[in-house]
Amino acid sequence: MVHPPSVITLVDPDSSNAIAIAHRLDFTDQGSEVPTHRHSKGQLIVASYGAVTCTAAGDVWIVPPNCGIWIPSGVMHSARATENARVDYLFVARDASRLPDHCCALEITPMIRTMIDRLAAERDEYPSDSHAARLARVMLDELATMPQQRLNLPVSDNVKIRAIADALTANPSDRSTLTEWARRIALSERSLARLMVRETGLTFGRWRQQLHLVVALRELVSGTSVQRVSTLLGYESVNAFITMFRKSVGCTPSRYLPDLQDRSRPGTCKVSGSSDKRMRME
């Protein structure tokens, strides 16, 4: 039986005066979504299992297990998690870190992940001279040094670009050419090419390849096989898909997500203990 995604009622991160607070979110039977919102604290979304798709600053981001999506203070955003996803939310006070002033994907090391897990066991309010505060400061210093990765798909508010994005997101195997898309949305090929670059910063070919990468990452971290992902994206062979993936991220899917099979086995991910703070699902 397929369940509709539940809606998450978030705690108010701005109610805490701490420089950083962390909350863990576990899903057992169904995916969940966080409606569009914003807050004064910046937010880092880190998935330890499953896939999370985040929309922020006009882009769609995928959150694989080895990265986190950083959303600066005041930026409107929403998120959607797949079934059985486990997600950590780290909220960071404005001006409390040297994290970027723009949305980005940051590499997350095992040490940073452990520190976020440790902070999730703390109360939202802790003394500024406490162990938790010192841990938070070291963690934020480490996060500020992490390299960025391109895991976003620029999506414009332009109705014609949005129509193409919606259609290809629903059917990523569609291999229609730029000429065919231009005819569908009543533009000349040259006009659509210029519009795509102006609105997204990418040519149509590069933009569609980035969409394929985002879809591929979402499916792979959800446990879909490389063969199935290749078919879903309309590649003629698995090798063609692996070549695209390697050119985009620098390695093959198996190298990028080396522990994917372990993560997909029931019981291999640690469930947060009773001391972890939870967000409520409705």
Average pLDDT over residues 111-116: 94
> How far is it, in rounded angstroms, from Cα 69 to Cα 59?
12
- State the pLDDT confidence band at 250, using cuts at 50, 70 and 90: confident
Average pLDDT over residues 89-118: 93
> How far is it, in rounded angstroms, from Cα 118 to Cα 261?
26
What order of strands is seen across the sheet that includes strand 32-37? 152-154, 59-63, 52-56, 77-81, 32-37, 6-9, 280-281
Burial class, 216, CB count within 10 angstroms (exposed 0-12 / middle 13-18 / buried 19+): buried
Identify the pLDDT of residue 251.
Answer: 85
**Tens digit of each residue's pLDDT (9 = 90 or more) over 31-59:** 577 788 899 999 999 987 777 888 888 88
Within this chain, domains 6-151 and 156-261 share the same CATH topology: no
Percent pLDDT > 90 in the chain is 52
* Residue 187 identity (one-letter amino acid): L
Q: Is the pLDDT of residue 4 over 80?
A: no
Q: Is the pLDDT of residue 261 over 60?
A: no
The alpha-helical segments, DSSP class H, found in the chain are 110-120, 131-143, 159-170, 178-184, 189-200, 204-221, 226-232, 238-249, 253-256, 260-264
Number of other residues whose CB lies within 10 A of the CB of residue 148: 13
Q: Could you state, in order of their start, the residue ranges of all structural domains in the chain?
A: 6-151, 156-261
Helices 159-170 & 189-200 angle (0-180, nearest 10) = 90
Helix (H, G, I), strand (E, B) or coil at 156: coil
**Tens digit of each residue's pLDDT (9 = 90 or more) over 136-193:** 999 999 999 999 887 888 888 899 998 998 899 889 999 999 999 999 999 999 999 9
Identify the pLDDT of residue 151.
Answer: 80
Beta bridge partner(s), residue 156: none
How much is the mean pLDDT over the chain? Answer: 83
CATH homologous superfamily of 156-261 = Homeodomain-like (1.10.10.60)
Tell me the pTM. 0.74
CB contact set of 243 (below 8 Å; sequence gap of 6+): none
CATH of 6-151, one of 2.60.120.280, 3.30.70.3460, 2.60.40.10, 3.40.50.2000: 2.60.120.280
> How far is it, in rounded angstroms, from Cα 32 to Cα 125?
27
Identify the pLDDT of residue 45.
Answer: 93
**Tens digit of each residue's pLDDT (9 = 90 or more) over 161-173:** 989 988 998 899 9
* Residue 229 identity (one-letter amino acid): V
230, 240 contact by CB (below 8 A):
yes
> How far is it, in rounded angstroms, from Cα 219 to Cα 50?
9
**Tens digit of each residue's pLDDT (9 = 90 or more) over 9-38:** 567 888 899 999 999 877 654 457 778 889
The candidate with the shortest Cα–Cα distance to 92, out of 71, 66, 62, is 71
Q: Is the pLDDT of residue 89 over 70?
A: yes
Q: Which of 103-112, 188-197, 203-212, 215-224 has the lowest mean pLDDT?
A: 215-224
Structure tokens at 118: 């440790």
